[in-house]
Chains A and B, each alone.
Chain A
Amino acid sequence: MTVASERKPLVVRPETVVALPRHVQLKFDKLREMWLLLAPERILTPDDIAVRVLQLCDGTRSVHQVCEALAEIYAAPIDRIEADVIVMVQDLATQGYLQSVETGA
């Protein structure tokens, strides 16, 4: 598994596999009692759904598989979820908080 290094913007599709890069860390802050996304010179406070998505983007699941898992968690039809999740993952990837992973498959 190698992190794609080519310098062109990632276009997120259902089969894309993404993960948090080394410099982006999702952590639960006990003192503040909230989830945080730590990146260079930036700290974000993702909402519950974003936290779920980020946790599922572990470099093994495709975006479609992330949606399957979410469909189960939220008991919602996958076709209603997938479009929204692709937009969210695309936005996070464009800002550098997620990057694509080549699975070698």
Chain B
Amino acid sequence: MMDTSFHEPDSKLAPGVGTTHGLPVAVLLEVTHRCPLQCPYCSNPLNLERPAAELATEDWVRVLHELADLGVLQVHFSGGEPMARRDIVELVAAATDAGLYSNLITSGVNLSRERLAALAEAGLSHVQISFQGSESETADRVGGYRNGHAKKLEAARLTREAGFPLTVNAVMHRQNLHQLPEMIDMAVELGAQRIEVANVQYYGWALRNRAALMPTMEQIETCNRIVAEAEERLRGILMIDYVVPDYYAVRPKTCMGGWGRQFFNISPAGKVLPCHAAETITGLDFDSVRDHSLAWIWDHSPALNRYRGTDWMAEPCKSCEHREEDFGGCRCQAFALAGDAGATDPACSFSPLHDEIFRVAETEAAADDMSFAYRNYLTPVPGE
């Protein structure tokens, strides 16, 4: 449904320097690409998976047990909208049965009191609801869903009432960054324990809508200030996790903690991906849980092994002192912006394209084109 930044696990869980990968710790399960919302920043691929291609209940149940056996500790049920799967409660129960910590990443628009009670009974640990703004007019236009904001507020209340801890997912971009202070207040009022202030990362639909979403440098500076002030003021009340937009960064993000290093995704059709955007890289063939065991895929999938560790690197990454810290940044962004998944992420100041993408960001933000290509199965996909 959106960008989910996995945070660095405790260093005792991380594979050592020089190793290509360790035991996986957390997995994002994109159980469907169906979603009632049409957010233009969605990180799902432009070619959304059709419902007929989705894994069946029994496949997911088997996969959940294989994940636990492989060392995975946490699973995030995401999508699309995970509540669009009629068997979601069954899948959460299977995760609990396998001993996994489960998190539901949802739009919230179809979370009823009854379904929340069933999810609690099934052992769900945590609920994360996305918000598109602090008030209906902006939020419903961004989400492309009438009355969505009101439904989300109600879902958040029901979530707390059902005894779940709540994370508010505030997805930020040029068209809603001015509402950030109110969104933080809203999270406090809703009784959330945590807010993710996640600036949009430009993959999939978000890349397509980049011109409508890219913030100005001034907005980012204001955003940094608001987050720093709120962290101080709300210490012990609301945890704030902050994801900055990397087009304006100096160092690239350590995307997914390194390609295939400790995290992975499973697509609706069962493909094991190093991240949710990896299918945008053409020429890589991702293995499916339909054809292989997860244990085999994790160690032997050629696509996962392609950009693991540092052996694949060219200059300037190859001899860079940061190569084991950020692993050259994001492979998908390198492919999208440099045309080569093995290049240095242009978000890095050592990339020859760094100045260019900075200018692109500034130019697009200044042009202030507000129009969205909404994320759905009907919006034409270029090249199809």
Contact = CB atoms under 8 A, between A and B. Distances in A.
A9 B7 contact: no
Interface in B94-129: 99, 101, 103, 125-126, 128
B164 A22 contact: yes
B271 to A, nearest CB: 23
Nearest to A94: B236
Given A21-B165, A32-B13, A32-B71, A40 B126 contact: yes
A96 B74 contact: no
Nearest to A38: B101
Contacts of B245: none
Given A5-B191, A41-B6, A43-B25, A29 B236 contact: no
A8 interface: yes
Taking each of A9, A34, A40, A44, which has the highest tally of chain B beta carbons within 10 Å of its own beta carbon?
Answer: A40
Interface in B4-42: 4-7, 9-10, 12-13, 23, 25-26
Interface string A9-47: 110000000000111010101011010101011111100
A36 B71 CA distance: 12
B279 to A, nearest CB: 23
B12 A23 contact: no
A44 B10 contact: yes
Given A7-B191, A23-B125, A25-B101, A36 B236 contact: no
Nearest to B99: A27
A95 B26 CA distance: 21
A29 B73 contact: yes
Contact of B7 (A22, A42, A96): A42
A63 interface: no
Contacts of B167: 40
A88 to B, nearest CB: 15
A42 B13 CA distance: 11
Contact of A7 (B12, B188, B241): B188
A56 interface: no
A96 B234 CA distance: 12
Given A23-B125, A45-B13, A96 B25 contact: no
A93 interface: yes
Chain A at the B interface: mostly helix, strand, loop or mixed?
Answer: loop
B125 A96 contact: no
A41 B75 CA distance: 10
Given A7-B188, A42-B7, A45-B13, A22 B236 contact: no
Given A21-B165, A36-B73, A43-B10, A8 B23 contact: no
B193 interface: yes
A29 B237 CA distance: 30
Contacts of A36: 13, 73
Interface in B268-287: none
B188 A34 contact: no
Contacts of A32: 13, 23, 71
A42 B9 CA distance: 6
Contacts of B241: 41
B163 A22 contact: yes
Given A23-B125, A31-B23, A41 B193 contact: no
A43 B235 contact: no
A40 B236 contact: no
A22 B13 contact: no
Contacts of A95: 239
Contact of A9 (B103, B126, B165, B236): B236
B194 interface: yes
Given A5-B191, A43-B74, A45-B13, A94 B235 contact: yes
Contact of A23 (B4, B23, B99, B126): B126
Interface of B: 4-7, 9-10, 12-13, 23, 25-26, 71, 73-74, 99, 101, 103, 125-126, 128, 163-165, 167, 188, 191, 193-194, 235-237, 239, 241
Given A23-B165, A94-B236, 14 more contacts: A10-B236, A23-B193, A29-B71, A32-B71, A38-B73, A38-B125, A40-B128, A40-B165, A40-B167, A40-B194, A41-B7, A42-B9, A43-B13, A94-B235
7 contacts: A22-B164, A23-B125, A38-B74, A38-B101, A43-B10, A94-B235, A96-B239
